[in-house]
Amino acid sequence: MPDQKLSIKFVTKKFTFTYKLKTIMKKAIILFAVVLLNTAAFAQTTWKNDPMHSKLGFTITHLMVSDVDGIFKDFNCTIVASKPDFSDAKFQLTVNTTSINTDVDYRDKDLRSANYFDVANFPTMTFTSTGISAVSTNHYKLSGNLTLHGVTKPVTMDLWYRGTITNPMSKKDDAGFKLTGIIKRSDFNFAPQAGSTMLSDEITINANGEFGKAN
């Protein structure tokens, strides 16, 4: 009988130790997961374009023989990323379509009319990224949804991350990007009355942006 009691006592202690160890491990795993989540959330940084050093431009061909360039003078773009190479970046762009400028007042007035951008009904154009994939070092394919003239379509652009530096004036980090790509007017039912012999269906997008940390 004494031997049996000792055996039972030993097994009970072993069970108690194992139970405590499992409980400690579970708490440690939960704590580690919470730390990871908080770290990921903390690491996300928001960047906003500097209007004085950012440009959103486009080129369209007129009568199949001459290129016409234009810009949008009023737009805002925000980037949210947690990686230093911006390989997980998310972009949100909003453009004021009334700010279109091609250096010809008469043409700009026509472009704002219902014949083209119809700014009275569609005062903004937006782009929301849905994915980014690396092509080579600091070069990416940026995919997203473009909303133009009330129509939303997926588009893919070429994105070049040009680096991050400390701005000598603000003493804060600035990141530079260049975006290029082609969209089609026909995808957005944009100015269908202007045939391809008058205005090319393809419009080349060319944007440069300098972004500062917002947080």
- The pLDDT score that the predictor gives to residue 8 is 46
Task: Give the pLDDT confidence score for residue 27 in this predicted structure.
Answer: 62
| Residue closest to 79 by CA, chosen among 205, 209, 166 | 209
**Residue 23 lies in domain:** 1-43
Confidence at residue 153, expressed as pLDDT on a 0 to 100 scale: 98
Q: Specify the pLDDT at position 40.
A: 47
pLDDT, position 215 = 80
Shared-domain flag, residues 29 and 108: no
- The predicted structure's pLDDT at residue 124: 98
Cα–Cα distances (Å) from 202 to 21, 64, 75, 184, 199, in that order, read 66, 11, 22, 5, 9
24 and 117 in a single domain? The answer is no
At residue 14, the pLDDT reads 54
Residues of the chain with pLDDT under 50: 1, 5-10, 32-42
Tell me: do 33 and 51 sit in the same domain. no
Residues 170 and 97 in one domain: yes
Question: Do 107 and 135 belong to one domain?
Answer: yes
85 shares a domain with 72: yes
Residue (of 215, 208, 182) closest to 77 by Cα position: 208
Tokens of 164: 């991050």
Looking at the structure, do residues 32 and 52 belong to the same domain, yes or no?
A: no
Tell me, yes or no, whether 131 and 198 share the same domain.
yes
> What's the structural domain count of the chain?
2
The CATH number given to whatever domain includes residue 162 is 2.40.128.110
Same domain, yes or no, for 110 and 26?
no
On whether both 29 and 5 belong to a single domain, the answer is yes
What pTM does this model have?
A: 0.80
